[in-house]
Amino acid sequence: MTVELSLLGKETDYPTTYQPDILFPISRAQPREKYAHIDGIYKGKDWWHVFEISWLNVHGIPQVAIGRITLPASSPNLIESKSLKLYFNSMNFTQFESKDAFIATVEKDLSHVAQAPVTLTLFQADELDITKPSGTCIDDQVPERLSNHPDATLLRLDQTDTNQENVESIEVELYSHLLRSNCPVTGQPDWGTVFIRYQGKKPCYRNLLAYIISYRQHNGFHEQCVEQIFADIWQILQPEKLMVYATYTRRGGLDINPVRVSDESWMPSPIRLARQ
């Protein structure tokens, strides 16, 4: 199903009865065609934090929680965000015999749409801690050239040592708060922090920042942006190992946090930043 057929960007009424059929799948296949040969695109997860979760217990008393959805990067489909928001709101007036019954229902519905196992972890309303980013922030770098659309030619290795054959491999953890892109349907801006763990010949930090900034007018879903960043770095800089993890700010009661890795041992733990 194409996103043009979804409810994204359209005026809709919020359902008050449980409606699993409102969930809308979006195939990952077409956007991945140009880098489908890169194994790391299929390794990773999409973590969603859902801040508007409520249902009724057996006494009819509202229950509230924060949810973390885990969707495997290998799933054939991602789930369109507005449909997910409407789905959770459709459960606000539905009784469940227990929290576990609520979780089981959600996992069944989301797994059916994604065509892969999806899990839901619930947190109390004040339980999800704020984490400070770790690694080296590259936002103070001054690029020589900027672009307003993704430009992989901006990426290059550090030229301090011109004899790259003799340069030793390094491992670094970098991050930038300057990631911005647009929803491809509504045009609304999406803001995020991107984390890059990298092992290989040293990248040029100011060029890496210029590349991240180049997404500022790009239209793409969160997951697709992270996969393109991963693919470009992997193909241009040719690291030995790579992780790209973006923590996007909340919109519509949801934040989306895709991560892609070349090596499963580099899978990070999910975090929540202050901006989220």
Question: Catalytic residues, which ones?
Answer: 183, 190
Indicate the residue type of 68.
R
Q: Which residue has the tokens 């672009």?
A: 147
Neighbouring CB atoms inside 10 A of 251's CB total 17
Q: How many residues are present in the chain?
A: 276
Dist CA 111 CA 25 (whole Å): 11
Q: In the numeric block, which tokens belong to residue 263?
A: 């090596």
Measured CA to CA in angstroms, residue 169 lies from 50, 166, 198, 261 at distances of 39, 9, 10, 18
3-state secondary structure of 210: helix
Residue 153, both tokens:
């030619």
Distance CA 256, CA 50 (A): 9
How far lies 272's CA from each of 44, 132, 133, 186, 252, in Å?
17, 8, 9, 25, 16
Q: Which long-range contacts (CB under 8 A, 24 or more apart) does 27-36 make?
A: 27/1, 27/76, 27/77, 28/75, 28/76, 28/77, 28/78, 28/223, 29/76, 31/220, 31/221, 31/224, 31/227, 32/227, 34/231, 35/227, 35/228, 35/231, 35/235
Which residue type does 227 have? E
Q: How far apart are CA 91 and CA 114, in angstroms?
A: 19
